[in-house]
Structure 1
Amino acid sequence: MIIKTPIIPIKQTFAKVDAPHDLHLEAICIFAATGFFLDQDTYWKDEVVLPAASICELDADGVLQSVTPWFTWEPTPSSMSFDAALDAFSELFKTITAEQIGKKPVILPLSGGLDSRTQAIVLKALGADVHAYSYEFENGYPETKIAEQIAQQCDFPFSSFKIPSGYLWNQIDALADMNGCYSDFCSPRQLAVLEELKKMPGVFSLGHWGDVLFDDMGVSKNLTLDEQTDVVIQKIVKRGGLDFAQTLWDTWDLEGDFKAYFYTRVRDLLKKINIPEDANTQIRAFKSLYWAPRWTSINLAVFEAAHPISLPYYDDRMCAFISSLPEAFLAGRRLQIAYIKKHSPELAQLTWDFYHPLNLYTYTNYKKKSGFGYRALNSLRYRAKLAMGKTVIQRNWELQFLGDENDAALKGYLFSEDLETLVPKAVTETIYKQFKTGDSLLYAHRVGMLLVFSVWASNFNNSWIGSD
């Protein structure tokens, strides 16, 4: 059997390899550090995920025989001007979106950023029947305000949702079935409003990965391979993740040192990509090959539990187009900003949340001396709420792990016999105590991963997941 995987796969496709049916503890350590499995790794040594952008041959028993890349992220530069590139992007984006949505109604998640704003423009131009929505954390930043303004400008019906505290516990097993325990459980906050989303007819138009494709990586083009490795590790490792992974590595008495193993794995993957022209291009390629399909794509299954999904930025043609552009066209979101300004100056005048309260015409002032007042004001607003004794929710895990009811549910998983089959109770107790009495932000990722391990050990351990 021959399987050709997309440049950025939406789903994991599993295959067997000739190896013992043992836990792949080294791979699990990387998962503990980053929140996603690296390359083709899974929980098991005899199970792999087919790599992105590859032609894969499997035998009749589903054992992987060979892998041949059919696309590389190596630049294919053209001589087009920026204006020509903008026109080419505009036409390609419209074509892809039209093909993906067909004649169906469209459900559009909106934020205050650029990717969904760009989608809103093309969907309005296509005359699509769009219902937009956004959500924000209970007692959190009012994220839906800008999204609603975008919807109003486009004449889209709009729904605003609050992500409530503790929604996870009644749906955690369903989420485990959706993502196979290949991601943390706090990232897909759309789970909280899944039943409401099911009531909206149509197909999702999702803006995932636009922020990576249409930006540089913020590094010098001349970074050495070792320097790139350091940058990638800094980008993908979660807070406290390296120490957590090293703890598991030592607990499981694995040979050598985790950090050395991890560094070598990342460096080898970067070396294999081999784009010497610009470190930004190479790091984008790494993220698209190994981060997008193994982290970003995983929880797309939550959207699919409600309706079919479409992802214009995932399209093979869009990826190939990105490879044809100079980094200068992508750096600082230049192409997307120009697109919005050209096709909808009204939307360009709305606040860009990353540079609140500035817009696409004024955001460059944010980091200048003239923007000091804006930066200070944003900080003061947050501090004022804290001073008034108000809870300010900034992260989804705070809604799931903090408070007595959440704590009781969390402890039920962390101190289960299932988790003890993978992580000794003493390790869990230490991490939990540090989370409760120390810097909760530093230990939240470790607690979240222990929760994933507990649910995985209960639902999937010693079972063969097989192919999607």
Structure 2
Amino acid sequence: MQVALHHEGWVRFGGVAVRGRAFEGDSLLEAPAIAARFARVLESGTVPSSLEAVADCAAGLEGFFAAIVDLDGADRTYLVADGARSIPLYYDGGGEVVSDRGRAVRESVDAPRDPITEREFLLTRYVTGPETIWRGVFAVQPGEVVELASDDGAGDRDGRRSVTRRSYREYWPAANEAHLGSCTDDDLSPLEAGLETALERLEAVAGDRPVVLPLSGGFDSRLLAAALVERGREVIAFTFGRSGHPDVEVSREVAAELGIRWEFYPYSRERWREWYHGEAGRRYRGWAFGGDALPFLAEWPAVRGLLEAGRLPEDALYCPGHTVATPSERLPRFVGEEPSDTEVGEVGCGPAVDADDADSTVPQIEPTVEALTEYILERHYALWEWEDAGFRRAARERIRRGLLGDRDANKISSPETAAAAYERWEWRGRMSTFTNGDLRVYEDAGLEWWLPLWDPAYVRAWESIPLADRRGKRLHADLATAIYWRVAGVPHDRAALTDRTLEPADRFLSLVRHTPAHQFTERDGDWEPAFLAPRSNWRKPGSHPLAWDGAVDDALLEAVPASRNFYALRTLSELGWLDLAEPSWLPQGEKLPSRVAESVVE
């Protein structure tokens, strides 16, 4: 077997390679100790099944790591991903190649495109399940061990290995009748206890280093910032986009109230053309694309620019606010569910970079697998218009697999079980690709990262919260508000303020209060009104708060309907069907699925 590892952080111990850190109880294990633990477990032979032994070992580790266990003389290789799939591992279906780069596996086995997963990527910007856009190239899933085994040590007739997948960590939020009912304020304590464990682990990993947070206008990063300030930690925050954008102005206020250093990195359409199409941008996108998710871009220019300017430390622990609570934002309403006064979209965590994120129209559906499947198709498979009965059948089956795992469809029969199934689908198929993609931004800059709000302790705590208090991330948002209010001492309405509830007048006042002092550092001396466009206009060229439509040729922007956002154009570009920088993009149109081609050009 060929093992091709590209990131320099991999550590080898005998036949085991590990990246990352994890806790075993209260003990922090670095990569060499994790590798040694896997090697000892297999060599001891105390568990009859080697697959079960590796899974049991992984289940006892809580942190962010990946492992390849390939002991000398063994006829089996094991691939391990943590519960957030924070570090990617890819392999081919014949068990010939393993790598931390999907493209390296694809090139080694000369894998062709898979028309089903390619279409899924086109419509969603990610691939659900273990597949990639390349036929026969797979990704290890969150909380999964993959066994690549030769039959009787000799393989089958063509030398290929069999593949067995085993989930050692699942995610299935509270779906028990005992959990029903709404939490009171006193019930914040279990979630806060989970947060305390996660923060203690973060501090153990950080040591004496400062913690750097991308601070948005939502609750996730605010929760981390306030809780770390309360613990006396040195916190540095950074925000990016266009001055006046609600995400920027709320972040500015939060940092000021907490008394932490705040760095702002302005974006513009002109800069995006250079960033996206320059050598560094092309290299990053090529390295970060594993065949299963669109490379993460939002904070990539800010991280690079602030580091180059010496405004962020290289020797720090970077902690983006990705959280297990996010899937609860997009839950539909279920027939038979008790009404709630918290709507989806009210407490969304940023950066809020797309007008779609503001959609607070929540459909009501039956609590069944069939209804959930249709909801996901309509809401998530929507970057392009499409009519393809064959793909719809395949997509339904893929969605069902993500909803259920090994469960029987008949078990989904109540609002609680339906919500659990939907959030499992997001955890396994959607969130892991976004979390995974964002971390590549920090690795591209040579930075260390940690994910406190995906710490298994916080995941378990959130998993136990009843549906009424998960919906809209209510209890998570309440915890963030309570800690921020406690630490900053601001009025409660300001403690609960987000980028989605900031009034236009408040945005203007923020500019009056802050921009004169920062006029030449933040806005390049521009005294014209800053970005104040309403969310309803963000799809119009030149009106996006991140200004990233500047990466797209102006003629293409004029030809494409406003309903097709930057993500949609980027999926076409990643598949090689569209050149965002060249005006000669039209001849590629004949390669597109018919309805997509119609959507590109009016």
Normalising by structure 2, we get a TM-score of: 0.58
Name the amino acid aligned to 1:349: D
Whole-angstrom distance in 2 between the partners of 1:349 and 1:208: 24
Q: 2:566 matched to 1:452?
A: no
* Paired residues for 1:79-90 under 5 Å: 82-83=184-185, 85-90=187-192
Q: 2:157 matched to 1:157?
A: no
* Paired residues for 1:329-340 under 5 Å: 329-340=469-480
Whole-angstrom distance in 2 between the partners of 1:63 and 1:191: 38
Cα deviation code 1:357-403 (max 9, x no counterpart): 39xxxxxxxxxxxxxxxxxxxxxx647998xx994224654221154
Q: Could you say which residue in structure 1 is the equivalent of 2:199?
A: 97
- Of the three residues 343, 348, 362, the one matched with 2:483 is 343
Is the contact between residue 227 and residue 484 of structure 2 (CA under 8 Å) also seen in structure 1? no
Query: Mind listing any 5+ residue stretches in structure 2 that lack a counterpart?
Result: 1-76, 96-108, 151-158, 338-365, 505-531, 580-602
Whole-angstrom distance in 2 between the partners of 1:46 and 1:128: 46
Q: 2:297 matched to 1:146?
A: no
* Paired residues for 1:338-417 under 5 Å: 338-345=478-485, 346=489, 348-350=492-494, 351-357=497-503, 382=533, 391-394=542-545, 396-403=547-554
Other structure's SS at 2:571 match: helix
Root-mean-square deviation (CA, aligned residues, Å) is 3.3
TM superposition shift of 1:115: 0.7
Whole-angstrom distance in 1 between the partners of 2:190 and 2:160: 41
TM superposition shift of 1:142: 4.7
Identity %: 15
Q: 2:395 matched to 1:259?
A: no
Q: Could you say which residue in structure 1 is the equivalent of 2:88?
A: 12
Once structures 1 and 2 are overlaid, which stretch shifts more, 114-123 or 275-284? 275-284
Whole-angstrom distance in 2 between the partners of 1:184 and 1:32: 10
Cα deviation code 1:268-318 (max 9, x no counterpart): 432436462422221111100111122342232012223111111222222
- Of the three residues 287, 293, 313, the one matched with 1:183 is 293
Q: Could you say which residue in structure 2 is the equivalent of 1:67?
A: 165
Report how many residues are paired. 391
Go from structure 1 to structure 2 and tell me whether the alpha carbon gap of 1:93 and 1:27 turns closer, same or farther (over 3 Å shift): same
- Of the three residues 302, 326, 329, the one matched with 1:212 is 326
- Of the three residues 122, 125, 128, the one matched with 1:35 is 125
Is the contact between residue 325 and residue 476 of structure 2 (CA under 8 Å) also seen in structure 1? no
Q: Could you say which residue in structure 2 is the equivalent of 1:299?
A: 438
Q: Could you say which residue in structure 1 is the equivalent of 2:368?
A: 224
Look at both structures and tell me which one has the larger radius of gyration over its CA atoms: 2
TM superposition shift of 1:118: 0.8
Whole-angstrom distance in 2 between the partners of 1:24 and 1:385: 36
Query: Mind listing any 5+ residue stretches in structure 1 that lack a counterpart?
Result: 247-255, 359-380, 408-431, 458-468
Whole-angstrom distance in 2 between the partners of 1:216 and 1:391: 28
* Paired residues for 1:323-334 under 5 Å: 323-334=463-474
- Of the three residues 266, 276, 290, the one matched with 2:429 is 290
Cα deviation code 1:93-134 (max 9, x no counterpart): 122123124322111111111111111111112211111111
Normalising by structure 1, we get a TM-score of: 0.74
Whole-angstrom distance in 1 between the partners of 2:117 and 2:140: 16
Q: Could you say which residue in structure 2 is the equivalent of 1:312?
A: 452
Go from structure 1 to structure 2 and tell me whether the alpha carbon gap of 1:179 and 1:100 turns closer, same or farther (over 3 Å shift): farther
Is the contact between residue 542 and residue 549 of structure 2 (CA under 8 Å) also seen in structure 1? no
Q: Could you say which residue in structure 1 is the equivalent of 2:69?
A: none
Structure with larger RCO (C-alpha < 8 A, sep 6+): 1
Is the contact between residue 78 and residue 147 of structure 2 (CA under 8 Å) also seen in structure 1? yes
Once structures 1 and 2 are overlaid, which stretch shifts more, 67-76 or 98-107? 67-76
Go from structure 1 to structure 2 and tell me whether the alpha carbon gap of 1:183 and 1:197 turns closer, same or farther (over 3 Å shift): farther
- Of the three residues 436, 441, 463, the one matched with 2:563 is 441
Instruction: Identify, as 1 or 2, the structure richer in helix.
Output: 1
Go from structure 1 to structure 2 and tell me whether the alpha carbon gap of 1:394 and 1:160 turns closer, same or farther (over 3 Å shift): closer
Name the amino acid aligned to 1:57: E
- Of the three residues 213, 217, 223, the one matched with 1:112 is 217
Name the amino acid aligned to 1:173: R
Other structure's SS at 1:184 match: coil
Q: Could you say which residue in structure 2 is the equivalent of 1:464?
A: none
